[in-house]
Structure 1
Amino acid sequence: MQTMKILAPLLITAMLQIPACLTVTVSSSKPKVEVHEHTDAVLSCEFKTEKDPNPRIEWKKRGKGVTFVYFDGKFSDHYAGRAKMEGATLTLHSVTQKDSGEYRCEVTASQDHVNLGETSVSLNVLVPPHVPSCEVPGSVFSGSILELVCKDKLSVPPATYRWFKDNKALTATGETLFSVDSDKGTLKFKSVSKADSGMYRCESSNSVGAPKSCVAQRLKIIEYQLSLKTLIAGGAGLLALILLCCLSACLCRRRGCCKKEKKAQSCKPYSPTPPPPPSRNLKNYKHTQSFMI
């Protein structure tokens, strides 16, 4: 015990003589920021250094790679003229969906023992609904399976959808032969009938702005009986045409107009073989017959 009493003051004195660990601290009062499109976004960054009065401040954006926003006391080309710095806090003017992402504030204090500190801020730019694209076929056969598709790819948060027929909202129940997926924007029919003909449109909406609707498009349901009659009539017409062609060919052959004219064979004129010329050697010439005059 006596030894401990002696060593205690010495330990306290030694601890007081050890230098404190000097470090820079960086934080954000609002690490998640959500703003509407075309408004200003404030990305807060607060820091504290132990010694360095003028630390170096940098802002970067993370994506597929790392993009500099603020470096060496100035903004990069994409942010020049539409951003400002107050201390270490970054303000972006008139943001769009392209500005959404994760940003990182880095503070480097070269005089501190641990000279680098950083914090991250997530920016989400909210976009109101846009006019959706609606896929409605012009006509389908009665009894067919049918799916209508509605899509708004630009709204943030993602839009939800409603389908209308003749300006009346469609609500699926256990008795209806169709189903509506408000998240995917689909309207599915198990089996369409003549009663499903009409004007169809889709409406997209989210929490940011007013709903938007596509232009209504007409859907026509063709009855199966009508299509069957059309097929029968078309087949009968085609058969009659084939029979008429066959009859015309038979009549043509009977009349001889379809026979090919035989080409006259070429006859060469007769030319007798000329007699051999008389021999010039008179000594060898002999009379075979005597002629009387």
Structure 2
Amino acid sequence: MASGMERLTSRMCCVLLSLLLAGVASALEITSTGQTTIDKASTQSVKLDCQFSLAAEDFGPLDIEWSLVPSDNQKDEIVVILFSGDRVYEDYYPPMKGRVHFNAADPKNGDASINLIGLKSSDSGTYQCKVKKAPGIRTKKMVLNVMVRPSKPSCHTEGSTLEGKNIVLRCTSNEGTKPLQYNWEKTSGNKLLPESAVMDPMGGTISVRNVSNSASGTYRCIATNRVGSEDCILHLKVTPPPNTAGIVAGSIIAVLLFLLIIALILFCCCRARHRKKYEKEICNEIREDVPPPKSRVSTARSFTVGSQRSSLGSMSPSNLHEYALKPQYDKIPSEEYDRPPSQIPLPPPSATSTAARMSGPNLSRMGGIPVMIPAQNRDGSIV
């Protein structure tokens, strides 16, 4: 009988405890039903919602705690902001000091939401809202992803823009949380991409093979991720291929003209140098008169002496005076013409005195006979 009573008592205790727990469970509740994953861009603001309700059975002090739950279970939670004993502790976590606040002036009225401003990429993580009022405890978790929106991309071309060549249009954004997606569109003309264009949305490129003039126009690239987008503009101008034959011909002509100019310069330099050397040699040359041939001189002298003797033998006193006035026959005609004017010998100083001694009576005493002497030109011929 005693054992039966004990069994009944234990059963009643279990029922009362389960009823008590059920009452507590239905008293404190978190009523927020918002999204559990939030994506925000850096520098923006976010509200982490946490609404709750209380019942009469909740008689203990109210505590509200927001914390960062580490991905590693071995690490402790990091408390970000705290409400306890009717007091708010906003500067509890130094990295978020001045950037995190309760949404309501008095959180105990059922609004435990917080606002986080000036978001940084380091603010990303899992946040937990914990509401405690004895004997109840309720929690709610939310994932916050702070992303960097794409920076303004740069658009440029790679490769030749000549017709018939292959070209690549490239779009690159240096900043932005991955994954980034790029989209190209043509904004001019028929607004259609070239038929041979192949677009890579992740790499941000458009490859165009055998590009034609129809591909010319304005293109726009848009870089996008989950928190924003930026774009850039590219102007493409496809040009016809140049005249290769004309370029080659012009190059050859230019080279030939250059070589011709160099040849002329070298020729002029060599000629001037040769002329200068020749003039120097002429200035330093010593000129000498070439003596006449001995045979000619002896012949002329023998002729002159014999002529003089024969003439003297036929002279008369009357024409002896004329002989003294005539040019002397002992001069050699060849020497007079061969020598320069400055070197023509002067008449011997004794020629006049000799003629005087041989004039008139003196010639008669000597047994001579005056003879008329014929005139003689410069060639030695008798006139």
Short-chain TM bin = 0.5 to 0.7
Code of the residue aligned with 1:217 in structure 2: it is H
Whether the aligned pair in 2 keeps the contact of 1:105 and 1:120 (CA below 8 Å) is yes
2: CA distance, partners of 1:134 / 1:127: 20
Whether the aligned pair in 1 keeps the contact of 2:185 and 2:219 (CA below 8 Å) is yes
Residue 219 of structure 1 corresponds to: 237
2: CA distance, partners of 1:82 / 1:221: 56
Residue 29 of structure 1 corresponds to: 33
Query: CA offsets, 1:181-228, max 9 Å, x none?
Result: 4564422101223443x34331427699998653443434351x5356
Length-normalised TM-score, structure 2: 0.44
Code of the residue aligned with 1:135 in structure 2: it is H
Q: What is the aligned-residue identity percentage? A: 15
TM-aligned CA distance change 1:118 to 1:29, over 3 Å = same
Whether the aligned pair in 2 keeps the contact of 1:43 and 1:91 (CA below 8 Å) is yes
Query: Secondary structure in 1 aligned to 2:247?
Result: helix
Residue 200 of structure 1 corresponds to: 218
TM-aligned CA distance change 1:77 to 1:5, over 3 Å = closer
Whether the aligned pair in 2 keeps the contact of 1:106 and 1:119 (CA below 8 Å) is yes
Code of the residue aligned with 1:132 in structure 2: it is P
**Is 1:83–2:87 an aligned residue pair?**
no
Whether the aligned pair in 2 keeps the contact of 1:141 and 1:221 (CA below 8 Å) is yes
RCO higher in structure (CA 8 A, sep ≥6): 1
Give the structure with higher Rg (CA): 2
Whether the aligned pair in 2 keeps the contact of 1:130 and 1:204 (CA below 8 Å) is no
**Is 1:53–2:61 an aligned residue pair?**
yes
Whether the aligned pair in 1 keeps the contact of 2:51 and 2:113 (CA below 8 Å) is yes
Code of the residue aligned with 2:206 in structure 1: it is L
**Is 1:134–2:172 an aligned residue pair?**
no
Q: Structure 1 or 2: larger strand share?
A: 1
TM-aligned CA distance change 1:227 to 1:97, over 3 Å = farther
Whether the aligned pair in 2 keeps the contact of 1:129 and 1:212 (CA below 8 Å) is yes
Length-normalised TM-score, structure 1: 0.54
Whether the aligned pair in 2 keeps the contact of 1:33 and 1:123 (CA below 8 Å) is yes
Residue 289 of structure 1 corresponds to: none
Residue 74 of structure 1 corresponds to: 90
Residue 269 of structure 1 corresponds to: none
Deviation, structure 1 residue 96: 5.0
Residue 317 of structure 2 corresponds to: none
Code of the residue aligned with 1:70 in structure 2: it is I
2: CA distance, partners of 1:74 / 1:116: 22
Residue 170 of structure 1 corresponds to: 192
**Is 1:102–2:119 an aligned residue pair?**
no
Code of the residue aligned with 2:161 in structure 1: it is V
1: CA distance, partners of 2:268 / 2:71: 81
Whether the aligned pair in 2 keeps the contact of 1:63 and 1:101 (CA below 8 Å) is no
Query: CA offsets, 1:24-82, max 9 Å, x none?
Result: 98785322235688765220235689675133613338699987643681234554444
Deviation, structure 1 residue 148: 0.2
Deviates most, 248-257 or 3-12: 248-257
1: CA distance, partners of 2:168 / 2:178: 25
Code of the residue aligned with 1:29 in structure 2: it is T
Whether the aligned pair in 2 keeps the contact of 1:127 and 1:155 (CA below 8 Å) is yes
Whether the aligned pair in 2 keeps the contact of 1:136 and 1:217 (CA below 8 Å) is no
TM-aligned CA distance change 1:190 to 1:118, over 3 Å = same
Whether the aligned pair in 1 keeps the contact of 2:148 and 2:177 (CA below 8 Å) is yes
Query: CA offsets, 1:126-150, max 9 Å, x none?
Result: 8888643211359534332211012
Q: Structure 1 or 2: larger helix share?
A: 2
TM-aligned CA distance change 1:105 to 1:239, over 3 Å = farther
Residue 47 of structure 2 corresponds to: 42
Residue 206 of structure 2 corresponds to: 187
Whether the aligned pair in 1 keeps the contact of 2:159 and 2:167 (CA below 8 Å) is no
Whether the aligned pair in 2 keeps the contact of 1:62 and 1:101 (CA below 8 Å) is no
Task: Could you tell me which runs of 5 or more consecutive residues in structure 1 were left unpaired when the two chains were aligned.
Answer: 258-293
Deviation, structure 1 residue 256: 9.5
Count of residue pairs brought into register by the alignment: 243
Residue 123 of structure 1 corresponds to: 144
Residue 230 of structure 1 corresponds to: 247
